[in-house]
Amino acid sequence: MARLAGRRALFAVPVLLVVTFGVFAIAAASPFDPVKAYAGTAALGADQQTLDRLRENLGADQPFAARWWQWLTSALTGDLGDSSVLRQPVAQVIGERLVWSSLLCAVAFAAAVLVGTVLGVLAARRPGSLIDRTVTSLAYTLEAAPVFWIALLAVWLFALQWDVLPAGGLTDTASEQVTAGQVASHVILPAGVLAVSQLPWFTLYVRQGVGDALAEDPVRGARARGLSERTVLLGHALRSGVLPVLTLIGSRVPELITGALLVESVFSWPGIAAATVEAATAVDFPLLAALTTLATAAVLAGNLLADLLYGLFDPRVKLSDM
Amino acid sequence: MSTRRIRGAAATAALAAAVTACSAPSSGGGEGDAKSGSVVIGVASEPDTLNPLLGYGKDGNSKIFDGLLAHDADLKLKPALAAALPEVADGGRTYTYTLRDGVEFSDGEPLTAADVVYTYRTALDAKTNNTFKSELDAVKKVEASGDDKVVFTLKYPYAAFAARTVLPIVPEHIAGEQDPNTGTFNTRPVGTGPYVLSKWSKGEKLTFKANPRYWGGKPKVKTFTMAVISDDDVRATRLRSGDLDGAVLPPNLAATFKSDDGKRTYDAKSYDFRAVTLPTPNKVTGDRAIRRALDAAVDREAMVDKILDGAGRPAYGPLPVDDPAFTKAVERDQDLGKAKKILDEAGWKPAGDGIRAKDGQRASFTLLYPSGDKVRQDHALAYASDAKKAGIEVKAESATWEVIEPRMKNTAVLAGFGSTGDPDFGLYTLLHSSLAGDGFNNMARYDNPAVDRALDTGRRGQDPAERKAAYDKLQRALVMDPGYTFLTHIDHLYVLADRWEDLGTQLEPHEHGFASGPWWNIEDWQPKK
């Protein structure tokens, strides 16, 4: 197990190098101009000398490979550089925002797992029943619906039409302090939308897993022994049906990250994802590279987690063979 | 570690995560009202930084900072941190400011001449990443003389210099300790103004509290919040639901509040013009007859009524009709007959398809407008249809600024611009031939010796009457050779809950919402009796 983790950590190094280099290359090739992004509307009234001076000061006149190397060498010494678009050190940007993104993702994921399990089990109990057909078709519909569209729909319905939940932000507009209660009411809508976007695959996997388990010999035996339907469902079928699904959670991290990106933008949630969008459109190299590294690390960690869980919970898989 | 023990640990961790995800009991949010002295305003965008050294509040109206001078409601200069207007000597080359007594920064440190000197020197430093350094181009040196006097020495007499000194003053003992480009001062500013920043949640809102040390007395509005809501519809909805007390809105949404008794609409006149640049190097747009014909063919009144819902004024030049320097004589109506006559006399003859041509050159050009800006798109399409009536083909195309910029030297662009403070600020960079094609200055590469001369006189002349005559001459010369077709000056609309008195608006620049708006003097608002 430790060997597997160690091997993966070694493997992560070249991946991170390639990914960050790729990000620098793509950003340099994009039509966005870091100087214009930095100056914002003020650039549309600026003289050439000013624009040139900014280009030099921001280091935007150097080739991207040189900038990548600079970024890499200073990042290794612990200096992540300064974000030009947010006018703050990158470490500070991440420190301020990571906690809110983690909260959003954690709440969303917990909700998706809980609701997904319940729906999946309900659907698997009687394949082909009305519940099963409803849940399955709903899952396929949601699978096809873009996250930002669901988010806008949710804002329109819950905030604008019914006025039951706040439309965005972290706290009420007029409040100064960040209180737990305010954050709790503000997190419902974005986390709910993110959960809904993660729900379909999970529900369908659980339905499949539990359905297969219900058709297996041990379950048939348990039923034959006259155990109650509840015990059979929760004790036998759910356990053997859901374990393989749990192992998949880690591999869904990339989807969660892209989902969070869109949801945070729509709900003006002050998290890391919103900063990523800004960094990308402003060609803010240091910030973009740091955030990409974070995301890549999260994906790699998710995959590692998936493999470890697989080895732990599935008796057929030996970690030593991986 | 055995597999079983790891399973146990994993289960415990999952349980712990589930418990922490539970929510705390909620507490109600407070409603803003005049009694509690709090105001919540919705704006479309937030500043990138709150550091004046990087350009925040450089044109005045910052609530956290004060400049040496400030603008009043009619944009006249009045003393702020300076005790009086500056003494001008040496033929307009030196400006001496005496500081007001007893001013303290919100952290309790006294303001001294050293802070002023530090502010201007850092703003002028090439290493400071701001875009307004060139606006202070006239400054040769700035020095303190004692604790309460600051002397600016200029490279040349610059009549409008005093209006530049609305630049907010920052405390050297805080800002001087850090890198102006990325230091904490960008997000946690300290100034002398009527309010202090209590919290900035980026992308969401900024909250301000009254500054107990403010030299100008205690504001009645104790706290105010600027909520950043980029979507116009969402902003209007939140205003309607009472979440906001006021908001900046486009004309069509502002109109929906007309019948709401509890809300008042403020219509701020502005310097914010929409114009078509007619680049000089282009064979068609550089032709004086074409320019004059286009100028006569456009129906400005119709644009104001149809595109802006009446919330604007026809633009007969870069200066709005209510600017004191505006020349009444240049007001003109649409005159298609005149447009055709000009073209006929210049040899632009109608061809088979109704578009005119001269020496094999069709009277046709492309007009770019920034994509996503509906108001500019409507202006571009209206302009194209008016031009067609005179026999000139204008092909309107949308593009991003990344695409527009390399093409703007010989392609027409639907531009928007406008500066307040002094005619020199907006006009010099827009029209002077020495700045042709310099970044975004003089985008049309306009080159007219008479206009250049008038600009120079207006910039260096010390006599107000002489300056006014120069700008008068300039406006008339622009009509004879209109290198830009000025279309409209657009009004900025704000809707506010009607709970406060003494509100008004200033003539506003192109930039608006965060600094200008009815809240430009929020420290003077009084609750309604």
**What is the predicted pLDDT for the residue at B17?**
40
Closest Cβ opposite residue B26 in set A48, A110, A181: A181
Task: Kindly calculate the radius of gyration of chain A based on its CA atoms and give it in whole angstroms.
Answer: 24
pTM higher than the cut 0.75: yes
pLDDT(B216) > 50: yes
Bigger pLDDT: A272 vs B486: B486
Question: What residues of chain A, 194 to 223, have a C-beta less than 8 Å from chain B?
Answer: none
Flag if B129 and A57 touch (Cβ within 8 Å): yes
Flag if B429 and A45 touch (Cβ within 8 Å): yes
Q: What pLDDT digit, counting tens, does each position of B122-163 carry?
A: 999 999 999 899 899 999 999 999 999 999 999 999 999 999
Identity at A125, one-letter amino acid code: R
B chain contacts of residue A104, beta-carbon cutoff 8 Å? none
B chain contacts of residue A304, beta-carbon cutoff 8 Å? none
pLDDT(B26) > 90: no
**Residue B405 dihedral angles phi and psi, to the nearest 5°:** -55, -50
pLDDT(B35) > 60: no
Q: Summarize the confidence of residues B463-471 as an average pLDDT.
A: 94
Q: Which two tokens stand for residue B230?
A: 């980029």
Q: What pLDDT digit, counting tens, does each position of A2-14 carry?
A: 888 888 889 899 9
Looking at the DSSP bridge assignments, the partners of residue B95 are B88, B152
A80 touching B (Cβ < 8 Å): no
Q: Summarize the confidence of residues B33-39 as an average pLDDT.
A: 71
Interface-testing mutation among B122, B124, B127, B129, with chain A (most A C-beta atoms within 10 A): B129
Q: Summarize the confidence of residues A10-24 as an average pLDDT.
A: 91
Q: Which of A92, B219, B216, A87 is nearest to B208 (CA)?
A: B219
**What is the predicted pLDDT for the residue at A84?**
85
pLDDT(B343) > 90: yes
Residue A285's pLDDT band, with cuts at 50, 70 and 90, is confident
Beta carbons of A174 and B31 less than 8 angstroms apart: yes
- DSSP at B92: G
Closest Cβ opposite residue B238 in set A36, A86, A167: A167
Tell me how far CA of residue B409 lies from CA of B275, B279, B437, in angstroms. Answer: 16, 6, 7
A29 touching B (Cβ < 8 Å): no
Name which of A114-118, A234-238, B271-275 the model is least confident about: A234-238
Interface-testing mutation among B2, B20, B38, B182, with chain A (most A C-beta atoms within 10 A): B182
Flag if B40 and A174 touch (Cβ within 8 Å): yes
A83 touching B (Cβ < 8 Å): yes
Q: Which of A256, A252, A272 is nearest to A264 (CA)?
A: A272
Name which of A30-34, A49-53, B90-94, B450-454 the model is least confident about: A30-34
Flag if A31 and B21 touch (Cβ within 8 Å): no
**What is the predicted pLDDT for the residue at B34?**
52
Q: Summarize the confidence of residues B209-224 as an average pLDDT.
A: 94
Name which of A16-20, B5-9, B139-143, B475-479 the model is least confident about: B5-9
Flag if B440 and A43 touch (Cβ within 8 Å): yes
Flag if B30 and A45 touch (Cβ within 8 Å): no
Bigger pLDDT: A147 vs B11: A147
**What is the predicted pLDDT for the residue at B85?**
97
Residue A322's pLDDT band, with cuts at 50, 70 and 90, is low
CA dist., res. A82 & res. A92, Å (int): 9
Q: Which two tokens stand for residue B112?
A: 């001294």
Q: Which of B173, B198, B180 is nearest to B188 (CA)?
A: B198
What is the number of CB-based contacts under 8 A between chain A and chain B? 162
pLDDT(A247) > 90: no
> How many angstroms from the chain centroid is the CA of residue B349?
42
Name which of A171-175, A304-308, B46-50, B359-363 the model is least confident about: A171-175
- DSSP at B75: S
Task: Locate the chain A residue with the closest alpha carbon to B227.
Answer: A173
B chain contacts of residue A107, beta-carbon cutoff 8 Å? 21
Flag if A176 and B198 touch (Cβ within 8 Å): yes
Distance from CA of A70 to the nearest CA of B (A): 18
pLDDT(B11) > 60: no
B273-277 β-sheet, strand order: B312-314, B484-490, B273-277, B412-417, B364-370, B393-399
**What is the predicted pLDDT for the residue at B19?**
37
Residue A40's pLDDT band, with cuts at 50, 70 and 90, is confident
Beta carbons of A54 and A283 less than 8 angstroms apart: no
**What is the predicted pLDDT for the residue at B32?**
42
Q: Which of B171, B162, B202 is nearest to B65 (CA)?
A: B171
Q: What pLDDT digit, counting tens, does each position of B274-298 carry?
A: 999 999 999 999 999 999 999 999 9
pLDDT(B22) > 60: no
A59 touching B (Cβ < 8 Å): no
Task: Locate the chain A residue with the closest alpha carbon to B32.
Answer: A174
Max avg pLDDT among A54-58, B96-100, B179-183: B96-100
A79 touching B (Cβ < 8 Å): no
Beta carbons of A81 and A75 less than 8 angstroms apart: yes
Distance from CA of B181 to the nearest CA of A (A): 6
**What is the predicted pLDDT for the residue at B518?**
93
